[in-house]
Amino acid sequence: MSTTSPTPAAAPANAPAETPCTQPASAMLSVRALLQRSGFTLDVDAALPLAGVTALFGRSGCGKTSLLRVIAGLDRAAGAEVRFGDAVWQYGRHFVPLHRRRIGLVFQEHSLLPHLGVRDNLLYGYRRTPPAERRLHLQEVVDMLGIGELLARSIDTLSGGQRQRVSLGRALLTSPRLMLLDEPLSALDTATKREIMPFLSRLAAEAGVPIVMVSHAPDEVERLADRVVFMHAGRIERIETLRQALARADSPLFADAGAVSVLEGLPGAAGPHGLRAFGPEGARLWLSASGTLAGEEQAGGRSTSQPPTDETHAPPRRLQRLRILARDVSLALDDPTRISIQNHLRVTIERIDTHAPGRALVSCRMADGQLLLAEVTPWSVAQLGLAPGQQVYALIKSVALLG
Ligand SMILES: Nc1ncnc2c1ncn2[C@@H]1O[C@H](COP(=O)(O)OP(=O)(O)OP(=O)(O)O)[C@@H](O)[C@H]1O
């Protein structure tokens, strides 16, 4: 059951996704395939925009890797059609093999050549790419991935995260038209994942190469994806922008860890109290100054580049993502004063979903138009008289804001 504001300020939760037909075919990756295996059928017919990061998301065994392999041409599904923009990769008897599709492939386990050092691994595909087609070169890829100090090392001396960065670099140096990543983080521990994520998030933005990435981890999708392809039992259930996927209470992304909001904003410098501003006036949050935001690392972060704020050599400020668990957000009718929680935002309730027994998900619109989800009890909804259209205060512990 849900209660909704009569005039929602943004796209409703069930709005159609980034409608493929509004994009020219030359900017789409389209796949139509029927692949039969014993006990499993992949049956897909979809068109994906060739921009940013597209996540294939779903439970283990739903067919994410199978779809990726059809796109790559690693599996030749009879009768399948695969088109990359204006290029036809598979149609009828026409079939372009993987090495002619100009795809950068990175799998869960790195696939580096153990007898070559880091530099030669990086240059392996580069040297085989015709000079006229080389768009990315060693130094820029090394700088982007922060692997300059590793160039002289042998592969067996690298950590898992370093190997995965070199694998990404090697794939990028073939100047691919498309990167296909199959759970590139799942073999890594949490600390190493945090080390790699910022690099992944910069790939599509800075290298200008669209990425299709398999993942079954909601936090990876929330940090990296621009759109999500939800798969179930060999089929595509829906394709949504990340924003749309996070705006519905029944999002599969919320199935395990609960609802989350992903906010985008510009982080400010660390302030005097160990806190750091994030986002514009009116929707400003204060974060603990330590820690790394989603998509951030020492040289900057993901997405939209902003011009430097002055003539010094300050790195450009970039939009960063912040992940906030809905259960870490409380609501109050008045702005509390004597309270340790630093973040009090005036928000407007847009929708209340009583999606799960004993829990209510309150979708709140912030002053900058972004959606903030709060999970409270139905008892609190009744006691406070919460309703769509009402202005309330969202209270967020600053410690809950780290990505
Ligand atoms: N080479 C193969 N031969 C036969 N069946 C296969 C083969 N590869 C995968 N399958 C089956 O196809 C189905 C889909 O597998 P797929 O690897 O595409 O799923 P997935 O969503 O990527 O799963 P996971 O998240 O566990 O990697 C599964 O039932 C799997 O057992």
Ligand 1 close to Cβ of residue 63 (< 6 A): yes
From 43, 44, 66, 183, mutation site for ligand 1 pocket: most ligand atoms within 8 A of C-beta: 66
Please report, rounded to a whole number, the percentage of residues in the chain having pLDDT higher than 70. Answer: 84
Q: What is the pLDDT of residue 340?
A: 82
Whether pLDDT at 309 is above 80: no
Q: What CATH architecture is 262-401?
A: Beta Barrel (2.40)
Q: Whose CA is nearest to atom 28 of ligand 1?
A: 61
Ligand 1 close to Cβ of residue 337 (< 6 A): no
The CA 366 to ligand 1 mean position distance, Å, reads 41
Mean per-residue pLDDT, 243-269: 89
Pick from 302, 328, 185: which is nearest to 242 by CA?
Answer: 302
pLDDT digit string, tens, across residues 1-19: 555 443 333 333 333 344 4
The CA 109 to ligand 1 mean position distance, Å, reads 16
Pick from 313, 303, 325, 340: which is nearest to 375 by CA?
Answer: 325
Q: What separation in angstroms does the CA of 347 have from each of 264, 335, 374, 402?
A: 16, 11, 11, 21
Ligand 1 close to Cβ of residue 64 (< 6 A): yes
From 56, 64, 108, 220, mutation site for ligand 1 pocket: most ligand atoms within 8 A of C-beta: 64
Q: Whose CA is nearest to atom 6 of ligand 1?
A: 37
Numbered ranges of CATH 2.40.50.100 in the chain? 262-401
pLDDT digit string, tens, across residues 211-251: 999 998 898 899 889 999 999 999 999 999 999 999 988 89
Q: Which two tokens stand for residue 330?
A: 């409380």
For domain 23-245, say whether CATH 3.90.660.10 is its number: no
Numbered ranges of CATH 3.40.50.300 in the chain? 23-245
CA distance 264 to 103: 30
Q: Are strands 260-265 and 320-325 parallel, antiparallel or unpaired?
A: antiparallel
Ligand 1 close to Cβ of residue 36 (< 6 A): no
Kindly give the number of the ligand 1 atom that is closest to the alpha carbon of 39. Answer: 29
Mean per-residue pLDDT, 281-285: 84
Q: Across all residues in the chain, what is the average pLDDT? A: 83
pLDDT digit string, tens, across residues 47-106: 999 989 999 999 999 999 999 999 999 998 889 999 999 999 999 999 999 989 999 999
Ligand 1 close to Cβ of residue 62 (< 6 A): yes
